[in-house]
């Protein structure tokens, strides 16, 4: 990029001076220059010819991450304007992201910029040293549905300066694209405008003038030489084929010859011994079509000696076009070494490989980077990276199964250029299905799975998730969350199976769904993934107001508990996970305060918990992965962050954008003896063992054989069942539910017809979003498919006359993590619009209210006006499942996984509390089964005898059935008249049921019956 300084001299004077100089030159020279360089083409003069408007009209408009982020723009008169009388001026103070755009009119054809060298503009420098991103919009339907190509310039000057950007400087934006990839080629023949992203973090001002296209398209900028890959693995003795292609922006034939001289040179392989050297030249004559290719072959030689991989760089010297961004490498595969022998036990393979690795290679295995940080992927081999991840919303373009597999295969190919060709382990947060992938089967969030009380179904949801994740090339899932949620003000409440550790433990069958057999023998299968138990330990117990992270109130706060409570409530689920063979564990962002005088200590620094309890006492033999940038929250400098977390037992560090710094610091700390060789070897051995168990050394690339089942009818049937079983019927006066198909039903509410709202956070993006974000069936659509006579009015503005029953679907909009904390812009109240819809419909007819939310909502003030109340949680993509119970295709069988409070002031409130007076107790859930038992105390006495006998005999199924019958009988008597006297023993009974104390559970239910 070049820039021309401009301060007090007006641009018109510059142009006049240039004209004078041209006039003094010989005519032939002037004529040649004119022919070679077309006149600049204005894009924006900022004199008022382009309005402030947005699509589909042409215009300038602002945007930002929140209400304060968009800059303020004006067309300001400036005496020093480089062109004309006005400039585009503005000021900004951006905390998230913000900027402005000029889009061409969407109802007109895109513009052709292909005749020009680049784009330029004048910028009034403030010398603030900050980067400003500049994007252009290529191809697609319009300016908001095009590809984004980006570059940046640094404001390190004062006054006006002309910024010139050749089109060759723009790169395809990989972190965000508004639509699926079009062709990922900067065609320049269908351009839709530009955008400017302003710096964040400090208030500033800017001025800009005269955006224009300049120069003649130089073939070396328009044409480029590429190879079909950056890495070419080949077995010893084989021949690598390197395809060399020429391509042009706009796909026009080249108008000048392009030559490519090639030569095998450098690398770790020895010419004549390991391969036959090659040298030559390829010529693409003028007129060659864009996309034409030639092949260079590099033969390798067999020496029958076991050895590590060796590299043969193929140096390319290009004339007449842009050369490839990097030198392609032929890699002679590692061979004949013990760690490559799949017949050997994993322990021996690990020991052999570990003995060969350097400190740098070991540090690389302990490092995990985000895909968006590594660009084309060259750093994978340069830093021997062991792992990559996709954060929430970090997806390929287009977001399809095939694109995921292609992307991950490309990264795995890069790992083949390392000395020992150790494959990457790629991880994603598939917390309720493969939720980053558009079109995947999205399950109910864990809170809903806990409501099903169905361990077998939980395992099936895990199996579907694993199959869909592995079919896209991903072998590792950062799930399940085993937090025990103790305060529903926590924004992560829905990630928990419930408030009772016994319930969480019972749902850990999901680990087998994800991983298969406890031994790990199934991990190499194409439908299993490595699971992650998170967040170790106590994140569900953080106290309201204890967080020091931004504006969070609960998340990442402090869990202050006695050691006894820690063991009983928060550690117990992790012992179960270890017993089930879970492959990885993730520590929590939160701090733990055991009242032992240490005060709150961040979990990533707690060696007593990670090394002492998890690894030593519990016997966990997998590896520990940090949370996203979690070590940055530890005290001290960065070196202290690294050594503290590694020495505490964290084996792999999720350092998404600081992977280079982490790796270098770990190496320095190890050389200084502050992290021991033994500790590093332990960490790397744990990581390598899981890679061997996953079969990645034998099959590093995606097995897409199961891709056709992603979002399939069979998979969605499992999600549909889970959605149905998760529905908890809290009230059903007059048997309003189930609905009858003959009834005229009035449907209203914000969440009746919104797939984004019913799937919640962690869906397509980290926070999720409202709207039609992924294929699925909304609750309204499910009701219509069920055959109901439906009228829908979202805000209940349509007439309510003439209907038999109303269904109002209300609740929350999506959020994730601390963003959803109560007090951080959120509360447990319904919105004013939702309240109005409930009031209007329930005043006009019998009504059922469904609450779609990640946690209980306060409904007590309206409970008397509501005939039926359903906790729908976040049911996922299959609204058919909700319709199934509404219309009686399935019975309501769900039970509350958390206590439903009367008021926010009661929080935290949990089963087992001494004072316990909720709206609905933990374990509550009415049924629409027709065979609810009767008989009162006589039946309870009989059921108590059955439960006791079955408990003694170890007949769990019989005993559970007896307790369930007793629970339904008690609920039938209590109805909506829940009191503290009945609620406490009722909730206690469900905990006793889950812990196998069946006779005691019936005794508690009998107590609740008498109190009711």
Q: Which uninterrupted H or E stretch holds 883?
A: helix 879-886
SS3 state at 360 = helix
Residue 906: how many other CB atoms lie within 10 Å: 17
Q: Catalytic one among 135, 379, 753, 817?
A: 817
Q: How many CB atoms lie within 10 A of CB 366?
A: 28
The SS3 assignment for 554 reads coil
CA 328, CA 1001: separation in Å to the nearest integer? 68
Q: Catalytic residue among 429, 627, 821, 990, which?
A: 627
Distances (CA, A) of 995 to 448, 491, 507, 940: 20, 28, 13, 20
- How far CA 796 is from CA of 328, 780, 790, 792, in Å, comes to 63, 14, 13, 8
Tokens encoding 459: 């395992």
Instruction: Let me know if 627 is a catalytic residue.
Output: yes
Q: How far apart are CA 116 and CA 132, in angstroms?
A: 23
3-state helix, strand, coil in the chain (%, to 5): 35, 25, 45
Cα separation, 839 vs 873, whole angstroms: 21
CA distance 571 to 568: 7
Q: 892 — alpha (psi -120 to 50), left (phi > 0) or beta? A: beta
CA–CA gap between residue 219 and residue 321 (Å, rounded)? 6
Q: What is residue 313's DSSP assignment?
A: E
Cβ-contact 771, 754 below 8 angstroms: yes
Say how far apart CA 260 and CA 319 lie, in whole Å.
7
The residue among 469, 462, 475, 479 whose CA lies nearest residue 401 is 469
Which residue in this structure is represented by tokens 């003959």?
742
Q: Among candidates 176, 169, 138, 140, which has minimal Cα distance to 152?
A: 169
Rounded Cα–Cα distance for residues 836 and 859 (Å): 13
The pair phi, psi for residue 678, each rounded to 5°, is -65, -40
CA nearest 956: which of 917, 995, 1008, 983?
995
- Catalytic residue flag (residue 525): no
Rounded CA-CA distance 154/261 in Å is 36
Catalytic residues, which ones?
627, 817
């Amino acid at each position: 990029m070049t820039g021309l300084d401009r301060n007090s001299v007006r641009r018109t004077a510059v142009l006049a001076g240039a004209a004078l100089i041209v006039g003094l030159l010989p005519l032939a020279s002037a004529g040649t220059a004119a022919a070679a360089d077309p006149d600049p083409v204005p894009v924006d003069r900022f004199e008022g010819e382009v309005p402030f408007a947005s699509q589909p009209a042409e215009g300038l408009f602002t945007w930002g991450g929140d209400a304060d982020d968009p800059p303020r723009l004006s067309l300001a008169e400036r005496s020093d304007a480089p062109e004309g009388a006005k400039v585009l001026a503005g000021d900004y103070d951006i905390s998230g992201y913000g900027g402005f755009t000029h889009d061409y009119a969407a109802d007109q054809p895109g513009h052709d910029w292909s005749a020009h060298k680049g784009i330029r503009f004048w910028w009034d420098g403030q010398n603030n040293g900050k980067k400003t991103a500049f994007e252009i919009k290529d191809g697609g339907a319009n300016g908001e549905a095009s590809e984004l190509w980006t570059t940046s310039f640094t404001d390190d000057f004062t006054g006006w300066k002309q910024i010139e950007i050749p089109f060759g400087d723009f790169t395809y934006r990989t972190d965000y694209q508004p639509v699926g990839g079009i062709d990922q080629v900067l065609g320049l023949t269908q351009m839709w405008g530009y955008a400017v992203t302003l710096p964040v973090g400090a208030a500033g001002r800017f001025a800009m003038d005269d955006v224009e296209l300049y120069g003649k398209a130089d073939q070396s900028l328009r044409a480029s030489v590429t190879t079909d890959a950056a890495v070419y693995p080949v077995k010893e003795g084989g021949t690598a084929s390197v395809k060399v292609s020429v391509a042009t922006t706009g796909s026009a034939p080249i108008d000048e010859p392009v030559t490519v001289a090639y030569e095998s040179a450098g690398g770790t392989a020895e010419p004549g011994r390991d391969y036959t050297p090659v040298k030559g030249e390829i010529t693409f004559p003028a007129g060659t079509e864009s996309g034409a290719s030639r092949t260079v072959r590099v033969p390798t030689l067999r020496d029958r000696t076991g050895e590590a991989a060796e590299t043969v760089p193929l140096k390319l010297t290009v004339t007449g076009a842009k050369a490839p961004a990097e030198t392609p490498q032929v890699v002679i595969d590692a061979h004949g070494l013990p760690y490559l022998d799949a017949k050997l036990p994993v322990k021996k393979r690990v020991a052999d490989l570990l003995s060969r690795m350097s400190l740098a290679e070991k540090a690389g295995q302990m490092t995990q980077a985000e895909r968006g940080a590594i660009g084309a992927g060259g750093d994978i081999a340069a830093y021997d990276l062991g792992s990559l991840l996709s954060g929430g919303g970090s997806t390929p373009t287009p977001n399809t199964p095939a694109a995921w597999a292609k992307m991950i295969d490309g990264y795995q190919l890069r790992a083949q250029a390392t000395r020992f060709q150790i494959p990457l382990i790629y991880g994603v947060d598939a917390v309720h299905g493969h939720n980053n992938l558009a079109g995947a089967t999205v399950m109910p969030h864990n809170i809903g799975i806990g409501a099903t009380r169905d361990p077998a179904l939980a395992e099936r949801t895990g199996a579907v998730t694993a199959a869909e994740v592995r079919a896209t090339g991903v072998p590792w899932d950062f799930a399940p969350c085993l937090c025990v949620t103790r305060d529903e003000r926590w924004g992560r409440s829905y990630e928990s199976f419930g408030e009772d550790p016994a319930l969480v433990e019972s749902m850990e069958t999901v680990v087998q769904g994800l991983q298969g057999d406890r031994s790990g023998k199934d991990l190499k299968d194409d439908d299993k993934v490595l699971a992650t138990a998170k967040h170790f330990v106590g994140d569900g117990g953080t106290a309201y107001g204890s967080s020091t992270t931004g504006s969070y109130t609960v998340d990442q706060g402090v869990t202050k508990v006695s050691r006894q409570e820690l063991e009983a409530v928060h550690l117990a689920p992790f012992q179960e996970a270890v017993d089930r063979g879970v492959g990885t564990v993730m520590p929590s962002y939160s701090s733990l305060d055991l009242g032992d005088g240490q005060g709150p200590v961040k979990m990533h620094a707690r060696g007593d918990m990670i090394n002492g309890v998890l690894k030593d006492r519990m016997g966990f033999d997998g590896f520990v992965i940090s949370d996203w940038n979690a070590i940055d929250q530890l005290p001290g400098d960065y070196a202290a962050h690294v050594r503290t977390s590694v020495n505490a037992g964290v084996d792999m560090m999720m350092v998404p954008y600081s992977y280079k710094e982490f790796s270098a610091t770990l190496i320095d700390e190890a050389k200084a003896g502050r992290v021991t060789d033994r500790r590093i070897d332990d960490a790397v051995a744990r990581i390598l063992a899981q890679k061997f168990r996953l079969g990645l050394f034998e099959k590093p690339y995606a097995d897409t054989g199961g891709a056709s089942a992603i979002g399939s009818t069979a998979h969605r049937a499992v999600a549909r069942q889970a959605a149905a079983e998760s529905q908890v019927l809290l009230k059903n006066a007059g048997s309003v539910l189930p609905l009858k198909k003959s009834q005229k039903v009035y449907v209203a509410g914000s969440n009746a017809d919104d797939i984004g709202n019913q799937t919640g956070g962690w869906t397509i993006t980290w926070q999720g979003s409202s709207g039609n974000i992924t294929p699925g069936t909304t609750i309204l659509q499910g009701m219509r498919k069920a055959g109901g006579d439906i009228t829908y009015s979202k805000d209940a503005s349509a007439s309510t006359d003439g209907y038999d029953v109303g269904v109002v679907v209300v609740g929350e909009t999506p959020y994730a993590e601390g963003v959803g904390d109560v007090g951080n812009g959120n509360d447990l109240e319904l919105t004013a619009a939702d309240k109005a819809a409930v009031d209007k419909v329930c005043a006009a007819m019998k009504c059922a209210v469904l609450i779609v939310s990640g946690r209980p909502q306060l409904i007590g003030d309206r409970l008397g006006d509501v005939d039926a109340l359903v906790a729908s949680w976040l049911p996922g993509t299959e609204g058919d499942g909700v319709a199934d119970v509404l219309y009686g295709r399935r019975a309501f069988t769900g039970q509350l996984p958390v206590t439903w409070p009367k008021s926010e002031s009661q929080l935290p409130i949990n089963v087992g509390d001494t004072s316990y007076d909720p709206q609905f107790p933990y374990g509550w859930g009415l049924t629409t089964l027709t065979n609810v038992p009767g008989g009162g105390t006589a039946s309870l006495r009989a059921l108590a005898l059955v439960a006791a006998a079955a408990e003694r005999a170890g007949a769990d199924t019989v005993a559970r059935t007896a307790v369930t019958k007793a629970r339904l009988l008690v609920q039938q008597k209590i109805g909506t008249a829940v009191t503290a006297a009945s609620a406490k023993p009722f909730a206690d009974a469900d905990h006793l049921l889950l812990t196998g104390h069946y006779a005691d559970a019936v005794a508690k239910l009998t107590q609740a019956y008498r109190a009711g």
